[in-house]
Amino acid sequence: MVLGQRPAVTTAMRHARRSYVIPASAQTSDDSPDEATLAILKPDLLANPFTVASILDEIHSHNITISRRKQVHWTWAQAGEFYSEHRERFFYQRLLGYMTSGPILALELRAPQVIARWRQLIGSTHPARMRINNPTCLRAKWGLTDTRNSFHGSDSSESAAREIAFVFSSLKT
């Protein structure tokens, strides 16, 4: 496979159950309360419905519940508001261009310690590094570049609450 190129998705790949190592700090027990996080599958992923189906299977295989989902095509202003904390960063304009290039799929995920578990499952924002250091994570499989990294995951419970409200309360589909 060429760096930056996605693997072909075969029927066998879509139905295979892959094992991921979740750190002990993110392991769950039956008495842990559920928390929520926002997951976003970004525009490049939505171009291939088989990829989306494979990712949704991965989420379910980790006992993470998708409690809400919404497909939306953000305007420049909506993407700018969502990513306002990055306004002064060098990649901001590229990020907005990417996030407005096609529809996204927003998912509210629920499970015990779901913020840490989802972030572990997607890996860091550097897909090329993840292909070496964590080749089973979702960004290693489908991420393209640091900006076009294919996934979003809230970084804290405060961010998750704010982002979930933004996506599911204020945006029209």
Output the known binding site for ATP. Answer: 42, 91, 119, 125, 139, 149
Binding site listing = 42, 91, 119, 125, 139, 149
Q: Is 73 a catalytic residue?
A: no
Beta-carbon contacts of residue 114 (< 8 Å; ≥ 6 apart): 34, 35, 36, 37, 64
Amino acid, single-letter form, for residue 88: E
**Residue of 60, 62, 126, 152 with catalytic role:** 152
Residue 173 contacts residue 70 (beta carbons within 8 Å): yes
Tell me the backbone φ, ψ of residue 38, rounded to 5 degrees: -100, 130
Tell me the backbone φ, ψ of residue 119, rounded to 5 degrees: -65, -35
Torsion angle of the four alpha carbons 25, 28, 32, 38, in this order, in degrees rounded to the nearest 10: 80
What amino acid positions are annotated as catalytic residues?
Answer: 152
